[in-house]
Every structure is written in C-alpha cells, then in structure tokens.
Structure 1
Amino acid sequence: PEKAGELRKRAGAGEQKSALAREFGISRETLYQYLRIGS
C-alpha cells in the first residue's frame, strides 16, 4: 500500500516509530511489519 511507502520514508528520515504508528492509526507491530516487508 502507498501508506507503507510513506511510513518507510518517514521512519528512514528519523521520525519516531511510535508517533508514526499513532498518526496512521496502526499498531507499532504493524508498522514494523511494513518496514520489514519493504526492506
């Protein structure tokens, strides 16, 4: 999903993962899954 691409970009830029998860309405675990899939 395009959400995953934006999450990867912003996490790579140094944004806090917990804040990103909250903003996107997903759990931190889901965020880490997105990051793993994209690497």
Structure 2
Amino acid sequence: MAAMDSIIASDLFLTSSGALTGIRDIRVIDTTTNDLFDPPQA
C-alpha cells in the first residue's frame, strides 16, 4: 500500500478526468503460459 500511496502522491497517472486522488481497489493479475508443444532437440 505504501507504494501505491507514493505513486498517487507523485501524480504519476493522469486520467482524462484528472489526477488520481486515492486508492479504490488493488488487483493482482496472474497470467500463466502453458507450453503445449516442445520441438525435438537436434
């Protein structure tokens, strides 16, 4: 949370409706890649 507070305080993200003023929600998105084909090694 301290990192988000620092980002908001520095006005790093500016939106079309203005600067961010506080934290509303924090999400962590995980993307996993599953390798379905391993080519033969030469």
Between 1 and 2, higher relative CO (CA 8 Å, sep ≥ 6) is seen in: 1
Higher gyration radius (CA): 2
- Indicate whether the TM-score tops 0.5: no
Name the TM-score, length of structure 2 as normaliser.
Answer: 0.28
User: Which structure: greater strand fraction?
Assistant: 2
User: Which structure: greater helix fraction?
Assistant: 1
